[in-house]
Amino acid sequence: MATEPVVEFAPAKINLTLHVTGRRADGYHLLDSLVVFAGVGDRVTLRRSETLELSIVGTQAAALAARDDNLVVQAARLMGGGVAITLDKVLPVSSGIGGGSADAAATLRAIARLTGQALPDADGVLQLGADVPACLAGRPVRMTGVGDRLHPLPALPDAWLVLVNPGVSVSTPEVFRALEARANPAMPDPLPDFPTFAALVGFLRSQRNDLGRPALQLAPMIGEVLAGLAAMPGCELARMSGSGATCFGLFATASAAAEAARRLRQARPGWWIAEAPVQK
Protein backbone atom coordinates (compact mmCIF):
# COMPACT_ATOMS: atom_id res chain seq x y z
CA MET A 1 0.00 0.00 0.00
CA ALA A 2 1.12 3.53 -0.76
CA THR A 3 0.96 6.59 1.44
CA GLU A 4 -1.63 9.24 0.59
CA PRO A 5 -2.15 10.94 -1.74
CA VAL A 6 -1.57 8.64 -4.72
CA VAL A 7 -1.03 10.32 -8.09
CA GLU A 8 -1.27 8.48 -11.41
CA PHE A 9 -0.54 9.79 -14.90
CA ALA A 10 -3.16 9.08 -17.59
CA PRO A 11 -1.36 9.51 -20.93
CA ALA A 12 -3.10 10.17 -24.22
CA LYS A 13 -3.64 7.00 -26.25
CA ILE A 14 -2.72 7.34 -29.92
CA ASN A 15 -3.87 4.95 -32.64
CA LEU A 16 -1.01 5.09 -35.13
CA THR A 17 -3.10 2.68 -37.20
CA LEU A 18 -6.74 1.61 -36.81
CA HIS A 19 -8.08 -1.11 -39.09
CA VAL A 20 -11.71 -2.21 -38.75
CA THR A 21 -11.61 -5.88 -39.69
CA GLY A 22 -15.12 -7.11 -38.97
CA ARG A 23 -18.20 -6.96 -36.81
CA ARG A 24 -19.43 -9.52 -34.31
CA ALA A 25 -23.02 -10.69 -34.09
CA ASP A 26 -23.45 -8.60 -30.92
CA GLY A 27 -22.57 -5.43 -32.86
CA TYR A 28 -19.06 -4.90 -31.50
CA HIS A 29 -16.47 -4.10 -34.14
CA LEU A 30 -13.24 -6.05 -34.51
CA LEU A 31 -10.14 -3.89 -34.64
CA ASP A 32 -6.46 -4.16 -35.44
CA SER A 33 -4.56 -1.15 -34.13
CA LEU A 34 -1.01 -0.11 -33.35
CA VAL A 35 -1.41 1.82 -30.08
CA VAL A 36 1.15 4.05 -28.40
CA PHE A 37 0.99 6.57 -25.57
CA ALA A 38 2.10 10.19 -25.55
CA GLY A 39 3.97 12.04 -22.83
CA VAL A 40 0.98 14.34 -22.28
CA GLY A 41 -2.16 13.48 -20.39
CA ASP A 42 -4.43 13.84 -17.40
CA ARG A 43 -3.63 13.06 -13.77
CA VAL A 44 -5.73 11.48 -11.04
CA THR A 45 -5.01 12.08 -7.36
CA LEU A 46 -6.62 9.76 -4.80
CA ARG A 47 -7.16 9.78 -1.05
CA ARG A 48 -9.17 7.47 1.16
CA SER A 49 -12.70 8.64 1.88
CA GLU A 50 -15.90 7.47 3.55
CA THR A 51 -17.72 8.06 0.27
CA LEU A 52 -16.80 7.99 -3.39
CA GLU A 53 -16.13 11.57 -4.50
CA LEU A 54 -14.91 13.04 -7.77
CA SER A 55 -13.84 16.61 -8.45
CA ILE A 56 -12.55 17.78 -11.81
CA VAL A 57 -10.02 20.58 -12.30
CA GLY A 58 -7.73 21.60 -15.13
CA THR A 59 -7.91 23.32 -18.49
CA GLN A 60 -10.56 20.94 -19.88
CA ALA A 61 -12.62 20.61 -16.68
CA ALA A 62 -15.56 22.63 -18.00
CA ALA A 63 -16.21 20.04 -20.71
CA LEU A 64 -16.66 17.12 -18.30
CA ALA A 65 -19.19 16.56 -15.54
CA ALA A 66 -18.49 14.60 -12.35
CA ARG A 67 -21.52 12.35 -12.84
CA ASP A 68 -22.12 8.69 -12.10
CA ASP A 69 -21.48 7.76 -15.75
CA ASN A 70 -17.98 9.23 -15.67
CA LEU A 71 -15.50 6.41 -16.33
CA VAL A 72 -13.41 7.45 -13.34
CA VAL A 73 -16.41 6.91 -11.07
CA GLN A 74 -17.19 3.57 -12.75
CA ALA A 75 -13.59 2.43 -12.34
CA ALA A 76 -13.58 3.39 -8.66
CA ARG A 77 -16.84 1.51 -8.11
CA LEU A 78 -15.33 -1.56 -9.76
CA MET A 79 -12.59 -1.41 -7.10
CA GLY A 80 -15.06 -0.89 -4.24
CA GLY A 81 -15.14 2.91 -3.96
CA GLY A 82 -14.06 4.54 -0.72
CA VAL A 83 -11.84 7.16 -2.35
CA ALA A 84 -11.88 10.88 -3.05
CA ILE A 85 -10.57 11.54 -6.55
CA THR A 86 -9.33 14.73 -8.14
CA LEU A 87 -9.06 14.54 -11.91
CA ASP A 88 -6.76 17.12 -13.50
CA LYS A 89 -8.27 17.20 -17.00
CA VAL A 90 -5.81 18.27 -19.70
CA LEU A 91 -6.93 16.16 -22.67
CA PRO A 92 -9.99 17.25 -24.66
CA VAL A 93 -13.05 15.03 -24.23
CA SER A 94 -14.56 12.84 -26.98
CA SER A 95 -11.47 13.44 -29.05
CA GLY A 96 -10.12 10.05 -30.17
CA ILE A 97 -7.16 9.90 -27.80
CA GLY A 98 -8.71 7.78 -25.08
CA GLY A 99 -8.87 10.42 -22.36
CA GLY A 100 -11.74 8.82 -20.45
CA SER A 101 -10.27 5.35 -20.82
CA ALA A 102 -6.84 6.55 -19.70
CA ASP A 103 -8.43 8.23 -16.68
CA ALA A 104 -10.28 5.01 -15.78
CA ALA A 105 -7.10 2.94 -16.13
CA ALA A 106 -5.15 5.42 -13.99
CA THR A 107 -7.88 5.23 -11.34
CA LEU A 108 -7.62 1.43 -11.26
CA ARG A 109 -3.83 1.61 -10.86
CA ALA A 110 -4.07 4.31 -8.19
CA ILE A 111 -6.61 2.41 -6.07
CA ALA A 112 -4.52 -0.76 -6.35
CA ARG A 113 -1.49 1.18 -5.08
CA LEU A 114 -3.46 2.92 -2.33
CA THR A 115 -5.24 -0.14 -0.95
CA GLY A 116 -3.12 -3.11 -2.01
CA GLN A 117 -6.06 -4.59 -3.93
CA ALA A 118 -5.53 -6.67 -7.03
CA LEU A 119 -6.59 -5.13 -10.32
CA PRO A 120 -9.90 -6.38 -11.75
CA ASP A 121 -9.88 -9.35 -14.10
CA ALA A 122 -9.78 -8.84 -17.87
CA ASP A 123 -13.57 -9.02 -18.28
CA GLY A 124 -14.10 -6.42 -15.59
CA VAL A 125 -11.61 -4.04 -17.16
CA LEU A 126 -13.17 -4.49 -20.61
CA GLN A 127 -16.60 -3.58 -19.22
CA LEU A 128 -15.30 -0.06 -18.71
CA GLY A 129 -14.59 0.33 -22.44
CA ALA A 130 -12.71 -1.16 -25.37
CA ASP A 131 -9.68 1.12 -24.87
CA VAL A 132 -9.28 0.56 -21.13
CA PRO A 133 -7.24 -2.69 -21.34
CA ALA A 134 -4.64 -1.01 -23.56
CA CYS A 135 -4.61 2.08 -21.33
CA LEU A 136 -4.15 -0.11 -18.26
CA ALA A 137 -1.14 -1.75 -19.91
CA GLY A 138 0.20 1.73 -20.69
CA ARG A 139 2.81 0.58 -23.18
CA PRO A 140 2.97 0.28 -26.99
CA VAL A 141 0.83 -2.67 -28.11
CA ARG A 142 -0.95 -4.17 -31.05
CA MET A 143 -4.60 -4.20 -30.02
CA THR A 144 -6.93 -6.71 -31.69
CA GLY A 145 -10.36 -8.24 -31.10
CA VAL A 146 -12.69 -5.69 -29.54
CA GLY A 147 -9.78 -4.20 -27.63
CA ASP A 148 -9.31 -7.20 -25.37
CA ARG A 149 -6.29 -8.78 -27.04
CA LEU A 150 -2.97 -7.03 -26.50
CA HIS A 151 0.21 -8.11 -28.25
CA PRO A 152 3.70 -6.75 -27.47
CA LEU A 153 5.29 -4.61 -30.16
CA PRO A 154 8.83 -4.72 -31.48
CA ALA A 155 11.01 -2.04 -29.89
CA LEU A 156 10.07 1.40 -31.16
CA PRO A 157 12.56 4.09 -32.18
CA ASP A 158 12.51 7.56 -30.66
CA ALA A 159 9.62 9.61 -32.07
CA TRP A 160 7.68 12.74 -31.18
CA LEU A 161 4.05 13.67 -31.66
CA VAL A 162 2.22 16.90 -32.20
CA LEU A 163 -1.43 16.44 -31.23
CA VAL A 164 -4.07 18.83 -32.55
CA ASN A 165 -7.78 19.03 -31.79
CA PRO A 166 -9.83 21.84 -33.39
CA GLY A 167 -12.38 21.94 -30.59
CA VAL A 168 -14.78 19.56 -32.30
CA SER A 169 -16.27 16.56 -30.51
CA VAL A 170 -17.02 13.54 -32.69
CA SER A 171 -19.40 10.79 -31.57
CA THR A 172 -17.71 7.39 -31.86
CA PRO A 173 -21.03 5.54 -32.47
CA GLU A 174 -21.89 8.00 -35.25
CA VAL A 175 -18.49 7.47 -36.88
CA PHE A 176 -18.94 3.70 -36.84
CA ARG A 177 -22.48 4.06 -38.24
CA ALA A 178 -21.07 6.10 -41.13
CA LEU A 179 -18.41 3.47 -41.88
CA GLU A 180 -19.06 1.98 -45.32
CA ALA A 181 -16.84 -1.14 -45.18
CA ARG A 182 -16.65 -3.15 -41.95
CA ALA A 183 -14.46 -6.06 -43.07
CA ASN A 184 -11.16 -4.47 -44.08
CA PRO A 185 -7.68 -6.04 -44.25
CA ALA A 186 -5.75 -6.35 -41.00
CA MET A 187 -2.14 -5.34 -40.52
CA PRO A 188 0.47 -7.94 -41.55
CA ASP A 189 1.16 -10.74 -39.11
CA PRO A 190 3.74 -10.73 -37.71
CA LEU A 191 4.50 -7.05 -37.72
CA PRO A 192 7.92 -6.03 -39.02
CA ASP A 193 10.63 -4.69 -36.77
CA PHE A 194 11.03 -0.92 -36.49
CA PRO A 195 14.79 -0.42 -36.03
CA THR A 196 14.69 3.23 -37.16
CA PHE A 197 12.28 6.12 -37.29
CA ALA A 198 12.28 5.85 -41.10
CA ALA A 199 11.29 2.18 -40.87
CA LEU A 200 8.40 3.02 -38.54
CA VAL A 201 7.16 5.82 -40.79
CA GLY A 202 7.47 3.64 -43.88
CA PHE A 203 5.31 0.97 -42.30
CA LEU A 204 2.70 3.43 -41.01
CA ARG A 205 2.35 5.01 -44.44
CA SER A 206 1.29 1.62 -45.81
CA GLN A 207 -1.43 1.26 -43.16
CA ARG A 208 -4.69 3.13 -42.40
CA ASN A 209 -7.20 4.56 -40.01
CA ASP A 210 -10.47 3.20 -41.40
CA LEU A 211 -12.46 5.68 -39.33
CA GLY A 212 -10.79 8.66 -40.97
CA ARG A 213 -13.17 9.00 -43.90
CA PRO A 214 -16.45 8.75 -41.96
CA ALA A 215 -15.13 11.09 -39.26
CA LEU A 216 -14.15 13.62 -41.93
CA GLN A 217 -17.68 13.48 -43.34
CA LEU A 218 -19.10 14.27 -39.91
CA ALA A 219 -16.47 16.89 -39.01
CA PRO A 220 -14.91 18.44 -42.14
CA MET A 221 -12.58 20.55 -39.99
CA ILE A 222 -10.50 17.40 -39.51
CA GLY A 223 -9.27 17.97 -43.04
CA GLU A 224 -7.94 21.40 -42.04
CA VAL A 225 -6.11 19.87 -39.09
CA LEU A 226 -4.48 17.19 -41.23
CA ALA A 227 -3.46 19.73 -43.86
CA GLY A 228 -2.00 22.03 -41.20
CA LEU A 229 0.05 19.23 -39.67
CA ALA A 230 1.24 17.90 -43.02
CA ALA A 231 2.49 21.36 -43.99
CA MET A 232 4.81 21.57 -40.98
CA PRO A 233 8.55 21.04 -41.69
CA GLY A 234 9.64 17.67 -40.37
CA CYS A 235 6.17 16.13 -40.23
CA GLU A 236 6.61 12.64 -41.70
CA LEU A 237 3.03 11.46 -41.21
CA ALA A 238 -0.26 13.20 -40.41
CA ARG A 239 -3.22 11.03 -39.43
CA MET A 240 -6.33 11.05 -37.28
CA SER A 241 -6.27 9.08 -34.02
CA GLY A 242 -9.15 6.82 -33.03
CA SER A 243 -12.53 8.12 -34.11
CA GLY A 244 -11.30 11.74 -34.07
CA ALA A 245 -11.25 14.62 -34.09
CA THR A 246 -7.71 14.74 -32.66
CA CYS A 247 -5.00 14.24 -35.28
CA PHE A 248 -1.29 13.67 -34.84
CA GLY A 249 1.85 14.56 -36.71
CA LEU A 250 4.86 12.29 -36.32
CA PHE A 251 8.33 13.87 -36.05
CA ALA A 252 11.86 12.52 -35.74
CA THR A 253 13.12 15.10 -33.25
CA ALA A 254 11.82 16.98 -30.23
CA SER A 255 12.94 20.30 -31.71
CA ALA A 256 11.01 19.75 -34.95
CA ALA A 257 7.88 18.82 -33.00
CA ALA A 258 8.21 21.86 -30.73
CA GLU A 259 8.66 24.22 -33.68
CA ALA A 260 5.64 22.73 -35.46
CA ALA A 261 3.52 23.12 -32.33
CA ARG A 262 4.67 26.72 -31.96
CA ARG A 263 3.73 27.57 -35.54
CA LEU A 264 0.35 25.86 -35.27
CA ARG A 265 -0.48 27.67 -32.01
CA GLN A 266 0.39 30.96 -33.67
CA ALA A 267 -1.79 30.18 -36.70
CA ARG A 268 -4.67 28.56 -34.78
CA PRO A 269 -4.81 29.99 -31.25
CA GLY A 270 -8.23 28.42 -30.62
CA TRP A 271 -7.08 24.85 -31.23
CA TRP A 272 -5.85 22.45 -28.56
CA ILE A 273 -2.22 21.65 -29.44
CA ALA A 274 0.36 19.62 -27.54
CA GLU A 275 3.77 18.17 -28.39
CA ALA A 276 5.10 15.09 -26.60
CA PRO A 277 7.38 12.10 -27.05
CA VAL A 278 6.04 8.66 -27.84
CA GLN A 279 6.41 6.72 -24.59
CA LYS A 280 8.25 3.41 -24.77
Residue 13 a catalytic site member: yes
Say which CATH number the domain at 129 has.
Answer: 3.30.230.10
* Per-residue pLDDT at 3: 83
The separation between CA 154 and the C-alpha centre of its own chain, rounded to angstroms, equals 20
| Sequence-ordered alpha helix ranges (H) in 153-220 | 172-177, 197-205, 212-218
Which of 150, 180, 203 is where one domain is finished? 150
Which one is catalytic: 42, 88, 103, 131?
131
Of 271, 5, 233, 227, residue with least CA distance to 114 = 5
For 88-139, the pLDDT digits (tens) are 999 999 899 999 999 999 999 999 999 999 999 999 999 999 999 999 999 9
Give a yes or no: residue 188 inside a domain. yes
User: For the chain, which ranges sit under pLDDT 50?
Assistant: none
Entry pTM: 0.96
Supply the range of the domain harboring residue 86: 6-150
Shared domain for 162 and 272, answered yes or no, is yes
Shared domain for 103 and 221, answered yes or no, is no
* Per-residue pLDDT at 172: 92
* Per-residue pLDDT at 2: 79
CA distances to 191, 250, 269 from 254, in Å? 26, 10, 21
* Per-residue pLDDT at 232: 98
What's phi and psi for 196, nearest 5 deg? -135, 165
Which of 150, 177, 211 is where one domain is finished? 150
Shared domain for 128 and 21, answered yes or no, is yes
The total of structural domains in the chain comes to 2
Which one is catalytic: 13, 32, 42, 89?
13
* Per-residue pLDDT at 46: 97
Say which CATH number the domain at 187 has.
Answer: 3.30.70.890
Distance CA 186, CA 204 (A): 13
